[in-house]
Amino acid sequence: MKLAIDAMGGDNAPGAIVEGTVRAAEAFPDLEFILVGDRARIEPLLSEHRHIDILHTTEKIEGTDAPVKAVRSKKQASMVLAVQEVREKRCAAAISAGNTGALMASGLFGVGRIKGIDRPALAPTLPTIHENKGFLFLDVGANAETKPENMLQYALMGSIYAEKIMHRSNPRIGLLNIGEEPGKGNELTKKAYQLLSEAPVNFIGNVESRELLQGPADVIVADGFSGNLVLKSIEGTAMSLINLLKETLGGSLYTKVLTGLMYGKLKSIKNRMDYSAYGGALLFGLSAPVIKVHGAAKSEAVFTAIKQAKLLVEEDVVGIIEETIHDKDHTWLNSKV
C-alpha cells in the first residue's frame, strides 16, 4: 500500500511531516510513501529510506488562500498533487496538514464524492475524559449549510467508521442538540432526529454539548456550523483552563516542587484533550480516504494519521459505505441517489 503525504502543509511543515512519515515507514515496513513537496527542503530531513519517494514541487497552498480559487489556480501545489496520486490510483490515500477548505476542494475535484453522499463531512475523533476511547464527531465545518439528509448520511458513514476503525460493536449514534428530549431543537435538528430514528443505525437520541467529554456516544452527528462551534469551544476552554492552571501554579510559593510534580500530570491531561493525538480528521464521503491532520500537528499526529489511513484502506471503509448506501433495503437513502 502506498500513501501520498503533502509534505508542505501545516505550521510545522516540512519537518514534522517528514519526521512522522519516517517513523511510520520504520513501524510499518509494508507501507510505501510519496512525500509531495520541495525536494531541497525534504531531502535533508530524510535519511535514506527505500520506502519513501519524493514528488518534487515548489508550489504550495497557504493557510490563508481562498480554498476553491487556490485549488483551481495552483495546479502544481503539493496538496493538489498528493490528491492526484490517489485519483490516478498510484496511492491508496492522501494526508495533509494544510488548508482544510482547500483539501476538501482538492478532494472534491480530485477523487470526487461517493455516489449517494451529497456533502462530505470533516470528522475528527475527540477524546473523552474517562475511557480514553474517543468519539467520532461530524461534521465539524466542511459545510456551513446543512440539510437533515446530510446528517443522515453522516450518521451512516460514522456508524461504519466506528465499527470498522474504532472497533465499537453496535456503535451508539447521538445527535448534537440543545436538549435531550425528542422534541427539542431547531427545525434542522428536529427533522434530523426523525430521519435518524428511522435509519438502520443504533440511534440513541439527542446529546447535549455539556455531556460530550463524558462519552455518551461513539459517534456524534452535527450540522457543520454547530459542530465547528462546539469543537472550537471545547478546544478553547481546555487550553484556557490548562494555561490558567499553569500560571496559578507558577505564582505559588511552592513553585519549583509543585510545578515539577504537576508538570507530568498537566501534560498527560493536555495530551488527552488534544484531539490531534487521535489522528487526523477524515474527509468523510470522498470516494477515497483523504485525511486532514491538524494544522499545528507534530510528528506524532502525522504518524497516527498514517496508521489511520492504513486501517481505512485495509478495512475498505469507503467501499463498505458505498455498498451500504446502494443496498436495496435502504430505500430511505436510495431515494436521494
What residues line the site for a second copy (CB under 8 A)? 129-130, 141, 144-145, 176, 178, 184-187, 189, 208-214, 224-226, 228-230, 232-238, 240-245, 248-249, 252, 254, 258, 261, 265, 268-269, 272-273
When the beta carbons of 144 and 337 are compared against a second copy, the nearer one is 144
CB 322 within 8 A of CB 145: no
CA distances to 72, 91, 197, 231, 319 from 173, rounded to whole Å, are: 37, 32, 10, 17, 21
Q: Which is nearer to a second copy, 229 or 311 (CB)?
A: 229
**Cell digits for 28?**
510499518
Q: Give the list of residues 6+ apart from residue 191 with CB closer than 8 angstroms, or none.
A: 148
Choose between 49 and 184: whose C-beta lies nearer to a second copy: 184
> Which is nearer to a second copy, 60 or 272 (by Cβ)?
272
CB of 242 vs a second copy, minimal distance in Å: 8
Q: How far is the CB of 144 from a second copy (least distance, A)?
A: 5
Question: Closer to a second copy at the Cβ: 142 or 309?
Answer: 142
Give φ, ψ of 201 to 5 degrees: -135, 165
The continuous run of DSSP H or E covering 325 comes out as helix 317-326
For 68, 74, 248, 313, 327, the CA distances from 103, given in Å and listed in that order, are 9, 12, 40, 19, 29
Joined grid coordinates for residue 48: 535514506
| Residue whose CB is less far from a second copy, 256 or 265 | 265
Minimum distance, C-beta of residue 241 to a second copy, in the bound complex (Å) = 5
What's 336's DSSP letter?
A: T
Task: State the minimum distance, in angstroms, from the CB of residue 61 to a second copy.
Answer: 17
In whole angstroms, how close is the CB of 63 to a second copy at the nearest point? 12
Q: Cell 459505505 belongs to which residue?
A: 321
For β-strands 2-6 and 121-123, DSSP reports them as unpaired
CA distance 300 to 14: 14
Residue 179: how many CA atoms within 13 Å on its side-chain side? 7
Q: How far is the CB of 112 from a second copy (least distance, A)?
A: 25
Pick 208 or 315: Cβ nearer a second copy? 208
Rg (alpha carbons) of the chain, rounded to whole number: 20
HSE, side-chain direction, 13 A CA sphere, residue 5: 37
**What are the angstrom distances between the C-alpha of 151 and each of 1, 134, 154, 163, 216?**
32, 20, 5, 18, 18
Minimum separation from the CB atom of position 150 to a second copy (A): 13
Query: Taking the complex as a whole, how short is the minimal distance between the CB of residue 197 and a second copy, in angstroms?
Result: 19
Residue 76 or 186 with smaller CB distance to a second copy? 186
Q: First and final CA of the chain: distance in angstroms?
A: 31
